[in-house]
A and B are shown apart, each in its own frame.
Chain A
C-alpha cells in the first residue's frame, strides 16, 4: 500500500530531481574547465579546497540560518497558536491573509523595505530627528538586515506547518490538562508544545535549510562581511564557471545541513507523544 501511494512522487522525483542532481554533483569529483571539458577523475581535493577557502562563509551562513530560524519560530508560534485556537470560524481567512503579502513578488517587497529602512528614510529618519538614535546608525547593509530579510521572508514557511500541527491538537487534551490542575504555563509547556513538535520540526526543516543556502537577501540588504555560502555557490557557477567547485560546495552544504537536521532530530525529536499511543 505505501508503495502505491509513493509511486507517482517517486517516479517524478527520480526523473526530474535525483538523476539531474546526481549528474551535477558528480562534477565535484571532476577536474577540468569549460574549454577542455571535465573528466571524472575521482579527486576529492575539491572538497578540501572548498571547505578551507570558504569556511568563514559556511559558518556565517549557519549562524544567519539559526538566528533567523529561531526568531521566525518565536514570531510564528504565537501567531499560529492564536489562529488555531482562537481563530474561530475565520481561521482559514486569517491564515490566508497572513500568507497573502508573500504572493506579491519578492523584488517588490524588498524594494519597499529598502526604501522604508533607508538611513534617513521614514523610520530611521524620524527616529534620528527625535534624537532617539545616533546619526550614524543604519539598518541596511548590516548582518542584522540580512537576518531581518531572512526572517521576514520565512514567516509563511513557519506559520503554515505550525498552524497545521497545532490546529490538530485535540482540545479535549487541553481541557484534561486543566482538569488536572495545570495552569496556563504548564499546559503549554507540557501538553501543547510537545504535541506541536512535528510542526516545529517541519518548519525548522523548511526555514533553516533554505535560509542557510539563501543569497538574495544578503545581496540586497547586506553590507561587507556578510557574504553567504549561497552567493559563493552562485558565483562559482555563473561567474567563475568553476563547476567542480560549485558542485563540491553544494555537496558540502547539503551534507552539513543533513548533520544539523540529524542533531536537531536527536535532541528535540520529531515525533509526538501520540505516536506511542497507537
Chain B
C-alpha cells in the first residue's frame, strides 16, 4: 500500500526521491487551505437569504394579552420546579435538605424540584432566551434573576408572566417597603424579591491602617496596588457615579462619561477588577480595600476572617435584588404563586435569611430569628437587617430603557476593564 506517488523522472537527471518530494510537496498545502476556506465562505450566500428574528414583536404581544382570564383558567398542580443560584436557600448542616421547602411541601402537598442551575445572570439568560423565543417552555416555574439588563429584557420581551396579586396577600402584608415597587418593576407586577444585598466597601482595618468612611478612599493613593474593584460594569459604573454625588437611577449619558473619566483616573491604583472572587483577595490580604457585597463580608467573618469589615460609605451604597419570576409557559404557575406567598412570612423568610445571610425582604423575620431560632448574630447584623438610616443611603441602579441605552453604557465602561 504505497500511497506516496512516485515523482515523474526528471529528464536526464537522477534526483533523489526524497529530495524531490521535499521540494515539491508543500508541508502545509497553501492551495489546500485556500480551497478549504473557499468552501466555508460558500455557505455564506445560503445564510444570506435568512436572518435572525428580533424580540421586540413578542414583547408587544405579551402586554396586550389578557392575563387575568389566563390566571383564572389555571388549575392547581402538585409540582413546582424552582431554579435558583447554588447554595442560596437554607440547607441543613450536612448538606442535603432544605427545611423551608420541606415545610412548604408538608403544608401544601406540592413537591418541589429545586434546581441550582443559575450561575450568573447573563449565561442563564443566554440559555433560556432562545427557548422562550421559540415559544417553548424552559421547564422552570420560578427563576431568580438579579435586577439588571437581563431582567429588563425578560420583561420587555414579554417572557415573564405577570403575577396574580390576589394570591399574594402575604407579600402585601410582610414585604419591606423598599422592595414593594422597585424602579425596574413598578408595582411589583412581575417579580417579588428573594434576597437583596448592598454593594459597599469591604476593607481590613489592620492593613488600611485607618477606618474607611467614603468612596473617595478607594481612590486614595496610599492604597495603590491594593484596591479591588468589580469587573461587573454595572457595579463599576455605579460606584463611579456615587463618588461624584450622582444618583445612578436618574443619571444621564453625560454622567456616565464623567464617571468613566474618574474611574480611569483610579486605574493605576487598582490591583484587579474582580468577579465574585474579590472576597478571596480581601481574605488573603492581597487587597486592603475593595468594592464588596454585604453578604460576602458577613460570611467571611463567620469563616474566621474576623478582621474584615463592611462599611456603608457616606455617598451611599448600591442596593440590588435577586427576584423570583415566573417564565412564560411555566407548567405550574399556581404552585409558583403558592410558594411566593408562603415565603413572604416572618417564619419562612427567617429560616432562609438565617442561612443565606443576605438582606431579607421581610423585616419581621428579624424578630423570628432572634426569638425563635435564637440566632442574635444574624438578627442583630445590619448586613442582614439594615436600619432605616442605612436604607436611606441605599441607591437603585439605573434601569436601561432599551438595547441602545444598554449598549451605550457598555461602550462607556467596558474599556476601563478591558484595556
Contacts and interface: CB of A to CB of B under 8 A. Distances in A.
Interface of A: 22-23, 26-27, 29-30, 32-40, 42, 54, 56-57, 111, 114-115, 118-121, 136, 138, 140-141, 219-220, 222-225, 227, 231-232, 235, 237-243, 258, 262, 265-266, 269-271, 276-278
A239 B410 contact: yes
Q: Which 8 A-B pairs give the minimum distances between C-beta atoms?
A: A37-B54, A118-B284, A238-B122, A276-B18, A38-B52, A36-B54, A265-B28, A141-B272
20 contacts: A29-B44, A33-B54, A35-B55, A35-B156, A36-B54, A37-B51, A37-B53, A42-B44, A42-B48, A114-B284, A118-B286, A119-B285, A120-B284, A141-B272, A227-B419, A238-B122, A238-B123, A239-B410, A276-B18, A276-B21
A219 B126 contact: no
Nearest to A39: B51
Contacts of B53: 37
B160 to A, nearest CB: 16
A233 to B, nearest CB: 11
B165 to A, nearest CB: 29
Contacts of B410: 239-240
B56 interface: yes
A269 B27 contact: yes
A235 B285 CA distance: 29
Interface of B: 2, 4, 17-18, 21-22, 27-28, 33, 40, 43-44, 47-48, 50-56, 122-123, 126, 153, 156, 225, 231, 233, 267, 270-273, 275, 277, 280-281, 284-286, 402-404, 407, 410, 414, 417-419
A26 B43 contact: yes
B51 A30 contact: yes
Given A33-B404, A38-B52, A242-B407, 20 more contacts: A26-B47, A34-B153, A35-B55, A40-B51, A56-B419, A111-B280, A118-B284, A118-B286, A119-B286, A138-B286, A219-B275, A223-B272, A224-B273, A238-B122, A240-B407, A240-B410, A243-B52, A270-B28, A277-B18, A278-B2
B120 to A, nearest CB: 8
B56 A36 contact: yes
Given A240-B407, A270-B27, A227 B272 contact: no
Nearest to B126: A238
Contacts of B18: 276-277
Contacts of A57: 418
Given A22-B43, A266-B27, A276-B21, A141 B286 contact: yes
Nearest to A110: B277
B294 to A, nearest CB: 23
B225 A220 contact: no
Nearest to B284: A118
Contacts of B280: 111, 114-115
Contacts of A35: 54-56, 156, 402-403
B363 to A, nearest CB: 34
Contacts of A278: 2, 4
Given A33-B54, A220-B277, A224-B272, A118 B403 contact: no
A121 B277 contact: no
A120 B356 CA distance: 30
Contacts of A39: 51
B389 to A, nearest CB: 34
A165 B47 CA distance: 42
Contacts of B27: 265-266, 269-271
B299 to A, nearest CB: 15
B149 to A, nearest CB: 8
Contacts of A33: 54, 403-404, 407
Contacts of A224: 267, 270-273
A171 B298 CA distance: 63
Residue among A34, A42, A111, A276 facing the most chain B CB atoms (10 A cut-off): A34
